[in-house]
Amino acid sequence: MGVEGCTKCIKYLLFVFNFIFWLAGGIILGVALWLRHDSQTTNILYLQLGDKQAPNTFYVGIYILIAVGAVMMFVGFLGCYGAIQESQCLLGTFFTCLVILFACEVAAGIWGFVNKDQIAKDVKQFYDQAFQQALMAESETNNGKAVVKTFHETLDCCGPDAAIGVITPLWREDLCPKKDSFLKSLSQMTTSCHKKIDELFSGKLYLIGIAAIVVAVIMIFEMILSMVLCCGIRNSSVY
């Protein structure tokens, strides 16, 4: 009875954790879809400067996140069903899927940590190229001006840094969106677009990082509980 009671307790505990895991997968999927269709990132990362497309490394990470969220929901359902049925086969499959997911998450985390500054750096380089073209006389023959104006209007900034941001409206007032008051115009002119780009992507990457840590902790508990339940079912069948 002691073994059976302990097995039932672990079974319900694993079911609860799997349900939380399934919910976490749904939340990650929802957040990934929101990041994919966020107006600020979409406006910027859909830009094209001549034949050059804006860097899309950020979207690669988002597509991976969408896939992970969908797989998590499936694995969570598999774990819930396996716990209810007390099936060693389903629990073993669930454990294997968790190990694979955990390994993929660790690999993605290492890649994200190594490249966390590269995304913003690539976007800033793309902006700088467009800004230089917009200031040149030949800017009428390319779309550098349109790209720069999209950056400025989306991020509410003007120029790559504060010093150039003050000079730009005086030299090329068509590049910075007009404000209805002097204070708003001054605030915009002193706001660096490089800083705004850093804030835009760092905030979203931190959100992804926090979600990944929470999911990793849940997965570790689930791997332990699934193995304990599997052993409990095997032992109870012996008795």
At 166 the pLDDT is: 47
Are 176 and 131 contacting, i.e. CB atoms less than 8 angstroms apart?
no
CA–CA distance, 144 with 49 (Å, rounded to integer):
6
At 201 the pLDDT is: 82
At 228 the pLDDT is: 78
Q: Which CATH number is 58's domain given?
A: 1.10.1450.10
At 137 the pLDDT is: 53
* Residue 1 maps to a domain: no
CA–CA distance, 124 with 187 (Å, rounded to integer):
20
Q: Which domain holds residue 46?
A: 6-237
Number of residues in the chain: 239
* Residue 149 maps to a domain: yes
pLDDT one digit per residue (tens) for the chain, 239 residues = 455 556 677 777 778 878 888 888 888 888 888 888 888 888 888 888 777 888 877 788 788 888 888 888 888 888 888 778 777 787 788 888 888 888 887 777 777 777 778 888 888 999 888 888 877 755 455 677 788 888 888 888 777 775 554 455 444 566 676 655 544 555 545 578 888 888 888 777 777 777 778 888 888 888 887 787 777 777 665 44
Are 79 and 94 contacting, i.e. CB atoms less than 8 angstroms apart?
yes
* Residue 144 maps to a domain: yes
At 139 the pLDDT is: 47
CA–CA distance, 207 with 196 (Å, rounded to integer):
17
Are 176 and 152 contacting, i.e. CB atoms less than 8 angstroms apart?
yes
* Residue 95 maps to a domain: yes
User: What's the burial of 77, exposed, middle or buried (CB within 10 Å: 0-12/13-18/19+)?
Assistant: middle
How many domains does the chain fold into? 1
* Residue 175 maps to a domain: yes
